Amino acid sequence: MIELSWPQVSARRLERAGLGAGPALPGPVDAVAAMCGAHAQVMPAAEASVGLRLAGATRAHVRDALRPGGQLVKTYGPRGTVHLLPARDLPMWVSALSSMPGERNPHAPHIRMTPEQTERVVAAIGAAVGDGELTIDELSERVVAAAGPWAGDLVVPAFGGQWPRWRQAMSLAAHRGAFVFGPDRGRKVTYTRPPAGTGAVADGAAELARRYLTGYGPATPAQFARWAGGPVRWAARAFEAAGVEEVRFEGRPAWVVAGDTAMPGEPPRGVRLLPYFDAYVVAGQPRELLYPGAAAGRALNRGQAGNFPVLLVDGVVAGVWHQRRSGDRLDVTVEPLRDLGPARERELEEQVERLGKVLEARPRLTVGVVTVGAHA
């Protein structure tokens, strides 16, 4: 059985993510596909994640790809969180995410919807967005009119207030392909129908497993399940259908796509800045190798990755950073967890300059303590 080390795997993952020493990825859709989706709950972070993987790109390139009819869509992706996904891959994502068994409803019994009510809400959402782009209030009005007054009961706790009952089904409806996010209307988010020709395909879970293993393997079904937000049994079936090969990764069993065992000849080198919820750290496992020593205590939030922007040095987390924008000025504070030395300090300065270009701002670097806490 093939034995793989952390330096080999780390170098391969970085190369495939567009974060290694090799050529940058060709364009936004290629970057997002290689990432298996870009987390987009915080859009400036998503723009940075994608732009830093490209040569000469700015946030404008990402925004152009996200326009109606563009190469990217925004919708609920893995773990029920908002992601940018390639429009061309939406059928695969719909097939994969809709194949997950339903999760246990965390709400009290008086808040939950019955399976029949859930189906009525999903159908109502799909019908409502067929007429164009709707704000959440406009969408709510149509869903309640179609499903019944019970759908509008303000019973779901949310951000110190109450949401209508039907909103429990938003991520499920997205996973079924009922809607995607539309262009913002001023400060308001809108929802619209998916691009034409993006219906579900067969066996999307197997294809998603292959894409995940291509970018982040070797991995286990449990790690894939954690990343996707599904149960381990679902993930194990996806691995089996994907056609995988068992290897030994740092002495433990793990899997890659069958035949995909080539590794770089050199260990990872270089300095990178990765923003909030960057796919590389959210998907990367095992955490104890990606976040060694003091990095686990400083850059993880109760074991969860992504809540802090991180400094990556030679393939491992070696610090945290924070940005503060005022007009076109971008103040970047980086807190290394070890001495970088002159060469890596120069690389860090280059990375801050690159971040400024991506975000269309004038950056200024401060090396010091980051006092901002974890992003919720």
What pLDDT score does 142 carry? 97
Tell me the C-alpha distance between 97 and 212, whole Å: 14
The pLDDT of residue 376: 60
Cα separation of 341 and 318, whole Å?
Answer: 13
For residue 206, what pLDDT is reported? 97
Residues of 204-235 as b/e, b for ≥16 C-beta within 10 angstroms?
A: bbbbbbbbbbbbbbbbbbebbbbbbbbbeebb
Instruction: Confirm whether 341 is domain-assigned.
Output: yes
What's the half-sphere exposure (Cβ side, CA atoms, 13 Å) at 349? 6
Output the pTM of the full model.
0.94
- The total number of structural domains in the chain stands at 1
Q: Which domain holds residue 289?
A: 271-367
For residue 149, being part of any structural domain is answered with no
* Segment holding 254, helix H or strand E: strand 252-257
Residues ≥6 apart with Cβ < 8 Å to 5: 250
User: In this predicted structure, what is the pLDDT of residue 198?
Assistant: 58
Tell me, yes or no, whether 326 lies in a domain. yes
Residue 231 lies in a domain: no
Per-residue confidence in pLDDT tens, the chain, 376 aa: 899 999 999 999 999 999 998 778 999 999 999 999 999 999 999 999 999 999 999 999 999 999 999 999 999 999 999 999 999 999 999 999 999 997 778 888 999 999 999 999 999 999 999 988 999 999 999 999 999 999 999 999 988 899 999 999 999 999 999 999 999 999 999 999 999 765 557 899 999 999 999 999 999 999 999 999 999 999 999 999 999 999 999 999 999 999 999 999 999 999 999 999 999 999 999 999 999 999 999 999 999 999 999 999 999 999 999 999 999 999 999 999 999 999 999 999 999 999 999 999 999 999 999 999 998 6
Classify residue 128: in a domain, yes or no: no
Query: Can the peptide bond before residue 286 be classed as cis, meaning omega within 30 degrees of 0?
Result: yes
pLDDT of residue 104: 77
Please report, for the domain that includes residue 323, its CATH number. Answer: 3.40.630
Encoding tokens for residue 231? 């149960």
- How many CA atoms, within 13 angstroms, populate the side-chain half-sphere of residue 130? 9
User: Is 315 part of a structural domain of the chain?
Assistant: yes
Q: What is the dihedral of CA 167, 173, 178, 182, to 10 degrees?
A: 50
The reply to whether 99 falls in a domain is no
Give the pLDDT of residue 202.
Answer: 80
Does a cis peptide bond (omega within 30 degrees of 0) precede residue 231?
no
Could you give the angle at the alpha carbon of 207 between the alpha carbons of 203 and 101, nearest 5°? 55
What does the alpha-carbon distance between residue 69 and residue 182 come to, in Å, rounded to a whole number?
Answer: 11
Q: Identify the pLDDT of residue 160.
A: 81
Asked if the structure places residue 345 within a domain, the reply is yes
